[in-house]
Each structure stands twice: as C-alpha cells, then as structure tokens.
RNA sequence: GGGCCCAUGGUCUAGUGGCUAUGACAUCUCGUUUACACCGAGAAGGUCCCCAGUUCGAGUCUGGGUGGGCCCACCA
C-alpha cells in the first residue's frame, strides 16, 4: 500500500465528510454501555453564511468533542439552528423585499418557513465542511413543532411555578422594530447630541434645567433637586411651568440628584430613562406619554403631533430659542443604549408584556454558576457581574410575527388568562382554541394572545430540546444535566444566562457541568470585524485556500477564551502541517512495505533499539500531557504537545535515525524493531492529531491503518493510552544526547557550507564518563545520520563536539 | 465610576517558582540528501512594560504604577 505523491485536501475533505455521514460515524448510540458525554451546542442563526467567529468557536468545541469520542465516550452531540425571531425576520424581509408589519402573521410565517427551507442546506453545509462531528441527522430548528412545544411547555411550567407574570409597565422598546426588547439586547454606542439649558418659569422666577431630550418636555411630570442644594431650597411645595406646553409640574427633592450635573435641577419625564421610571414609582407621579410605539409624537405634544422624535427635538429647540427659553445649547457626545439589531435608540414605554422573574433569584442564579465549571475560570465573573447588575426582569414577549406563540388566550368578559393544556401543545392561539374554557365562556368570549416569544425563550432550552424533555424522553432523565456547553463569550449574558435560568426553573438543576467559552476573532490588526469596516474574513475562502484542517489548526492554536486576531500565516502553518503529515506518513508507510502489521494492542518491546525506545518514550510523555490537557479543555496545549512530538522528535530526528536501518537493512531484527516502532509512533501521532485535523488523519488511516486496526474510522478508534512501562529513562537520555551531537554535526556542516550528506572523517566528542556510557549505546545511529567515518571520545566536563 | 483580561526578539506567540526564555512568520547564510522546495540545516535578533516586595531563586507569586482591549454603569 502506498500513498500518492501529493495530497489534495479538496478531494479528501469532501470524500471523508460524505463517508462519515454515510457510515453514521457520529451517531449517538442509545444502547451503548459507554459513559455518555453530551454537548450543548449553540444553534446558529440562519443568516446566509457561516462567519469566521462560528468557524473558530465550533472548531474548538469540535476538537474537544472528537477527543472525548476517541477517549471512549458515547457522544451525544446534537446540532440545531436558531431561526425564529427578529434576526430571521430581518433576513427574510431583506431577501424577499417585504415588510413584515404590513403582512398577515400567517402569510409572513409561511414566507419565513419557505425561505428557511431554501437557504438552510447551504448554510448547514458550512458546518459539515469544517468537520463538525455533530449528529446532523437529528437536527432541530427552534421554530419546528418540537421546539415550539418545548418552549410552550417551559412557559406553562414557569407560569404554574410563579416565575412568569404579565403586566403593563414601563419597558424598553424599539420604535423601529416596534417591539419590546430585553436588557440583553441593548448595545451601547457613543452619539453626538446637544445639552440644552431650558427655562421653566416658577411664578416670576426662571428655573433652568439641562436636558438632551427636548422632545420629552410634554412628558415632563416633575422637577427634582437635591434636598441639600441651597439654590433650590425655597422651592419646596412649589410648581414650575413647562415651557411651550404650558402646564405645571411639582418641584420635588431626592437624594440621588447630582448637584454637580447640569444645573442641579432635573426634569423627570415618563419616560426618558431608567431613573425616571424609578422616581415615577417612588413618588407615584402621573403618567404622561408623548411618544407612540412607532416613535412619533402623540397629541400630548401639541403642535408637534406626528413628528418623529428627532424632528420634534429639532423643532422644539428652534421654538424655545425663538421664545428666548433656551439659555444655551452645547454639543456633547454621550453613551446611548440602542437596539443591537437595528441601532435605534431605545425608548421606555408603558406597555403590556410578559416577564420571567429573575431579579428575585439573583442569589440562586449566581449560586448555579458556582456549581458549573467554567473554562476558562474567569469567564464566570462575567456572568456573575451581569447577574448582579440586572435591572429588569426578563421581558419575553415580542410584538412580532415570526416566533413561538404564547399558549395563552384571554377572557373578553373578565380579562382572566386562559392557558393551553399541556397535551395540546404545540398550539397557536390565533388558530387554535383552548381545551378548557372558564365557566360560562364560549369560544366567542375569548381572544388570543397575539405576541410571540423572545427567541431566547426557546434557544435557552437547547438541553431540554435536544434531550426530549417535553416528550418525557428517557434520554432526558439519563443525560441531563449535560456534560458541557460550548459557546463564545459575547453570549454569556444571553444564552448562558437564560439557559441557566431555564435549567433552574424548569429542570431544577444546572443545565451542564462544564461550560467552555471561546474567544473572538479579530482582524489582522486586532480590531473587531464588521461589515462597515470591510475587514470581514470569510471562512469559506480560507477553507478554499488552505482546507478545513488548516483552518482548524489555526483555531486550535488559540487558548480557550482568548480573542485572536486572524493571521493568514497561521493558517498557512496549518496547511504545512497537513502536508508534513502526508509526507511523513508516505515515507513511514513506504518503510512498512514488507512489514507484517498486526492490530496494535500492546507494543512488543522485544528487540527494540535505544532510539526506538527513545521515540516511544517521547510519544508516551506527549500522550500523557495531551490527554491531561484535553481533559481540562486545553486543546491548544494538547495540540502543541503533539506538534512538537511530530515535527521535532519524530520527523526531524527519529525518521533520520531509522533510515540506515530500513534502507539497506543488514540486520533484519533491527529493521523489524524499527518498523514496529514506526507503525506505533505514526499511528499514535495520527490519533493525537485526529481531533484537530480530522481529514488528513482519516485519509492516512483509511489508506493504511484501517486494514490492520479494523476501526471504521480513526475518529472512533481508541485514543492512545498512557503506559508507564513505555517510559525508558536511560534510552531517552541517550537519545537526547544523540540528537545533540547530530545537531552539532549539522551546525558544523551548515557553517562550512557543506551538504548534510557530506562524509566526515572524524568526530570527537568530549564529555563526562556518564554521558559517554549513554552515547556509546547510540554511536552507530549518530554515525549513520551524520555520515561519520570515525567517532571517538575524550574526557571533558561539558559535552562538546570537535569535527575535522 | 465598577469589573475582567492582556503586556515576552520586527510581528504573533509558549512559558502551572528552578539549568542558556519556546515556537511560528519575517530577515540573513548554506544545502536540490531517494518523505517533504508547500522543503531541510543553521545564524542573527530579548532590559520578559516600569517600580517595590516575597523567595536561596521571579518572565512566572504579591502590592503599586503605566499602556492597551473587553464588559457593565453613566443618558437629567
């Protein structure tokens, strides 16, 4: 059996991806006795193409997954896509050039489903191409019936347990998407604005307040000063007149007013920010709404009705100025919360929404994080910090079309909430009817809940979805909590947090025992990638140029949790490694031509020479370290270990040291020992590389080793096990000395401009007696590699090599 | 303002208290040796950000700076 001269990753990667699929190599085995290792994978949002961050993070997760599969675990490794919610709506609106708000809900839903069908196969194929070894056949979609059912069951469960409530209250709102949104969907951006000093009249006195939000003047409900502020002490119980809108608001005092800021006198509107909400609650202020859900002024803003917020702000500014009520106007830059999906500034509007209680469970939610092992550990702090700083309960209702419907109706008569029965799920209240009606009600007396759920309400249930919680699947009982969650750090505050919430509330336990959090891919300069900057790296292009193995090698080079700037040269190194594996394998297998290989159970030590034991020892140490690193999710350490073993021990040295024993074999026993060792070392190295570079290792395995070892694929073969008996200290030391002397010889030839092949007359090594004893064991090998005629020793303290 | 992470040859980077600080890329020199020119063998290149401390010993641990990045808060 021989390997062709060149390796084509294009052909090979395609071939093995198909093979793995056909042979169902990545199937979870329900009947297996092996311990289960389960992975909670992030369902990517179907958005056209996989981006480089996906490739990075999934590759890292997959490397860990492949290790555990080889290490004897029964892998439960599901895959799904997250395709309900705003992201998908936006995509469909863009692709199909429609506006969801002007369509009927079911029409738009159908269009979304149809569009997903069209684009999903291409999208998912990217995951297959980078070698993700999940079980794609059991894929779920967060908008399929199973997920809707799971999501609705979770809702009913939480409702019954008292974790869900609905109320009309001030909630963050996106006027562009026209829906409520959650705190986790905020993004902070710096914006330029104006800090305006505006005159309020108090009798004949002029009071100046500072504001950036002039359009909220008609929503002003009070003025506030600090109780100790001398300037405003005599205003107690007085009222001020709102400019332009000409009505009076009370002047009140609160400790948290900052005397230094602005004029020390502030206006409270319903609602400009969270602090307004706070004071509105605390002082039971009236509600005066000036902005509609579409982001236009309503008739509270007399004279400005129908104007969009920013235009109203401008016009009010002009009108104030004209009337001499604008004292000053200063340009400022300040941080503003915007909706991450569309960049629109967030408003606070009083609307009816559904919430999941989290503020009253902060301690439990932080306690859960303590029970989970975080990799790397410091990522836990991000979670804890987020939970500690939560300000709102989780708002889960969205005034959108494409999402999981609430399994809820209302009574027109009494307003009471009517829940769906669990056994009628999945349910769409717009078309379905409740199984049980309240007393004295007919179907005519009920109206459906029209809102849909936040997409995170469903994707936070990935463990329950994958394990069949809603179906009372035995798998759920057996596997939950899952072994590990893999994800990137940007969604700790959403996906990780929400999944833990659902785990505690629905399943009474943490969702997984471990979480591995990967970093971010930055552009070559270390900046964030973004479409607007035009610095996006497409993984498809990288794969096309260097192959999936090359890309995975690159992804494996970064420590877990660490951001990494994309350097093309690192992918080149990956591709070089692939080529090197190919060439080294080709050479090794060539040397095994007449070797009668048997399945490798335990290496037979009989007849092994010193250099053989040297490489076996090196393999063993690498196996030990790589295994330990993998067990603690440190795949980059593990790969480095294998890398050093392969390049510097196996290729640079061992292969050179055995050539003289296999080429013109004078000693059959020695040749056989070398072959045995070659077989053992190469197979071990291939296995150790297999999680990182699944394609090239499979190629070599299939061509040669499969016929001997018998496993369907290298990826279901067993991970090399550490065996203390295969550590040979003396031989290792001797081999290290041989390598050192050979290195001196190479250096000499290089400095003299000689070919490495040049024969040397005499090499004299001066060293201690101890080293001499060891070196004598490998003299023949050193002579062969260095092409040395005569080799002599002399006594010396330090090991030095003299050549003439 | 709070929290977290980071700082190592030109660039990126390993380094979990212990000989001369790791590797890759780039640079230079040599070598077409029958696994590999998508190569190999070498060379040069470092105040391990600064200060103080702990220690027999610090790139590594502690404290304090400086600089960079990320997250959160700040929106009157």
Q: Which of A144, A290, A266, A249 is nearest to A209 (CA)?
A: A266
Respond yes or no on whether the N-terminal peptide bond of residue A785 is cis (omega within 30° of 0): no
Task: Work out the number of other CB atoms within 10 angstroms of the CB of residue A464.
Answer: 25
Between CA A786 and CA A764 the distance in angstroms is 13
d(CA A774, C1' B46) / Å: 35
pLDDT (0 to 100) of residue A621 = 92
For range A365-392, the mean pLDDT: 93
A249, burial (CB in 10 Å: exposed 0-12, middle 13-18, buried 19+): buried
Residues 175-204 of A with CB under 7 A from strand B: 183, 186-188, 193, 195
Q: With beta carbons less than 8 A apart as the criterion, state whether A135 and A79 touch.
A: yes
What is the share, in percent, of chain A residues with pLDDT greater than 90? 77
DSSP string covering A2-19, please?
A: ---SS--HHHHHHHHHHH
pLDDT (0 to 100) of residue A152 = 98
Cβ of residue A392 lies below 7 Å from strand B: no
| A196 nearest nucleotide via C1' and CA | B76
CA dihedral A168, A451, A119, A57 (to 10 degrees): 40
Q: With beta carbons less than 8 A apart as the criterion, state whether A215 and A290 touch.
A: yes
Between CA A282 and CA A299 the distance in angstroms is 27
Between CA A404 and CA A401 the distance in angstroms is 9
Q: Which tokens hold the place of A205?
A: 């006195």
Element (H, E) at A148: helix A145-160
Q: Which tokens hold the place of A471?
A: 């179906």
pLDDT (0 to 100) of residue A565 = 87
- Report whether pLDDT(A262) > 80: yes
The ipTM assigned to this model is: 0.94
- The pLDDT-based confidence of A605 (bands split at 50, 70, 90) is confident
Between CA A399 and CA A175 the distance in angstroms is 11
pLDDT (0 to 100) of residue A332 = 86
Cβ of residue A391 lies below 7 Å from strand B: yes
Element (H, E) at A229: none
pLDDT (0 to 100) of residue A668 = 87
Show the beta-strand stretches assigned E in A244-322.
248-253, 265-269
pLDDT (0 to 100) of residue A191 = 84
For A454, list phi and psi in degrees, rounded to 5: -50, 140
| A739 nearest nucleotide via C1' and CA | B41
- The pLDDT-based confidence of A177 (bands split at 50, 70, 90) is very high
Give the model confidence (pLDDT) of A544-579 as tens digits: 999 999 999 999 998 899 888 898 889 999 999 999
B chain positions with any atom within 7 Å of a protein CB: 2-5, 12-16, 24-25, 29-36, 38-43, 69-76
Cβ of residue A664 lies below 7 Å from strand B: no
Give the model confidence (pLDDT) of A644-663 as tens digits: 999 999 999 999 999 989 87
What is the share, in percent, of chain A residues with pLDDT greater than 70? 100
d(CA A643, C1' B44) / Å: 26
Q: Which tokens hold the place of A628?
A: 């330990």
Task: Please state whether beta strands A408-411 and A446-448 pair in parallel, antiparallel, or not at all (unpaired).
Answer: antiparallel
Between CA A316 and CA A334 the distance in angstroms is 21
Q: Which tokens hold the place of A520?
A: 């971010």
Between CA A684 and CA A697 the distance in angstroms is 11
Between CA A481 and CA A472 the distance in angstroms is 15
Between CA A114 and CA A102 the distance in angstroms is 18
**In whole angstroms, how far apart are CA A552 and each of A212, A572, A578, A606?**
49, 11, 11, 39
d(CA A258, C1' B1) / Å: 14
Cβ of residue A743 lies below 7 Å from strand B: yes
Between CA A407 and CA A429 the distance in angstroms is 6
Task: Please state whether beta strands A248-253 and A239-241 pair in parallel, antiparallel, or not at all (unpaired).
Answer: antiparallel
pLDDT (0 to 100) of residue A193 = 87
């Amino acid at each position: 059996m021989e390997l062709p001269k060149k390796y084509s990753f294009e052909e090979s990667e395609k071939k093995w991806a198909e093979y793995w699929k056909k042979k169902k190599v990545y199937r979870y085995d329900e009947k297996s006795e092996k311990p289960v290792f389960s992975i909670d994978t992030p369902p990517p949002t179907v958005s056209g193409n996989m981006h480089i961050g996906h490739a990075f993070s999934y590759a890292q997760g997959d490397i860990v997954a492949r290790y555990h599969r080889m290490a004897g675990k029964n892998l439960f490794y599901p895959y799904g896509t997250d395709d309900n919610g705003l992201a998908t709506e936006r995509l469909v609106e863009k692709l199909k050039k429609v506006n969801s708000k002007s369509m009927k809900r079911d029409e738009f839903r159908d269009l979304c489903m149809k569009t997903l069908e069209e684009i999903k196969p291409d999208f998912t194929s990217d995951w297959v191409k980078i070698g993700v070894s999940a079980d794609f056949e059991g894929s779920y979609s967060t908008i399929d019936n199973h997920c809707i059912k799971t999501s609705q069951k979770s809702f009913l469960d939480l409702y019954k347990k008292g974790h869900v409530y609905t109320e009309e209250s001030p909630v963050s709102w996106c006027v562009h998407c026209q829906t409520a949104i959650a705190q986790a969907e905020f993004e902070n951006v710096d914006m330029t604005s104006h800090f305006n000093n505006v005159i309020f009249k108090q009798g004949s006195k002029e009071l100046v307040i500072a504001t950036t939000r002039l359009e909220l003047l008609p929503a002003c409900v009070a003025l506030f000063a600090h109780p100790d502020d001398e300037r405003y002490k005599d205003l107690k119980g007085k009222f001020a007149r709102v400019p332009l809108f000409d009505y009076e608001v009370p002047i009140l005092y609160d400790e948290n007013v900052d005397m230094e800021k602005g004029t020390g006198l502030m206006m409270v509107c319903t609602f400009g920010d969270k602090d307004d909400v706070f004071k509105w609650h605390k002082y039971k202020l009236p509600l005066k709404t000036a902005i509609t859900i579409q982001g236009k002024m309503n008739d509270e803003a007399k004279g400005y009705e129908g104007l969009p917020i920013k235009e109203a702000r401008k016009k009010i500014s002009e009108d104030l100025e004209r009337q001499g009520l604008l004292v000053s106007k200063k340009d400022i830059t300040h941080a503003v919360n915007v909706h991450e999906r569309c960049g629109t500034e967030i408003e606070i509007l009083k609307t009816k929404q559904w919430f999941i209680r989290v503020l009253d469970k902060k301690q439990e939610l932080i306690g859960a994080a303590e029970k989970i092992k975080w990799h790397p550990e410091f990522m836990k702090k991000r979670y804890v910090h987020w939970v500690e700083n939560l300000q709102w309960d989780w708002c889960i209702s969205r005034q959108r079309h494409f999402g999981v419907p609430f399994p809820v109706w209302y009574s027109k008569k009494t307003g009471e909430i009517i829940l769906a029965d669990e056994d009628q799920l999945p349910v769409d209240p717009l078309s379905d009817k409740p199984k049980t009606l309240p007393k004295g009600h007919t179907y005519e007396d009920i109206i459906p809940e029209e809102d849909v759920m936040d997409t995170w309400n469903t994707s936070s249930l990935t463990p329950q979805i994958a394990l069949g919680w809603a179906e009372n699947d035995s798998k759920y009982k057996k596997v939950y909590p899952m072994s590990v969650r893999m994800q990137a750090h940007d969604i700790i505050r959403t996906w990780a947090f929400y999944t833990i919430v659902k785990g505690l509330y629905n399943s009474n336990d943490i969702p997984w025992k471990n979480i591995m959090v990967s970093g971010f891919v930055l552009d070559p300069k270390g900046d964030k990638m973004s479409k607007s900057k035009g610095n996006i790296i497409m993984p498809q292009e990288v794969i096309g140029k260097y192959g999936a193995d090359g890309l995975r090698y690159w992804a494996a080079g970064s420590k877990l949790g660490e951001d990494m700037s994309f350097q093309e040269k690192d992918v080149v190194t990956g591709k070089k490694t692939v080529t090197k594996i190919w060439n080294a394998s080709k050479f090794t297998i060539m040397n095994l031509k007449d070797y009668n290989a048997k399945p490798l159970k335990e290496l037979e030590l009989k007849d092994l020479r010193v250099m053989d034991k040297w490489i076996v020892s090196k393999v063993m140490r690498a196996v030990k370290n790589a295994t330990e690193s993998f067990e603690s999710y440190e795949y980059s350490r593990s790969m480095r270990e294998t890398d050093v073993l392969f390049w510097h021990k196996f290729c640079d040295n061992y292969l050179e040291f055995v050539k003289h024993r296999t080429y013109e074999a004078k000693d059959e026993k020695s040749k056989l020992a070398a072959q045995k060792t070659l077989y053992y070392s190469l197979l071990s190295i291939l296995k150790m590389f297999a999680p990182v570079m699944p394609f090239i290792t499979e190629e070599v395995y299939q061509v040669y080793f499969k016929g001997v070892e018998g496993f369907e694929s290298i990826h279901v073969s067993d991970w090399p096990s550490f065996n203390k008996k295969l550590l040979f200290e003396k031989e290792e030391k001797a081999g290290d000395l041989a390598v050192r002397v050979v290195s001196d010889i190479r250096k000499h030839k290089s400095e003299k401009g000689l070919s490495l092949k040049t024969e040397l007359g005499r090499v004299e090594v001066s060293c201690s007696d101890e080293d001499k004893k060891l070196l004598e064991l490998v003299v023949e090998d050193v002579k062969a590699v260095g092409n040395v005629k005569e080799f002599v020793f002399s006594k010396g303290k330090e090991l030095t090599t003299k050549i003439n």
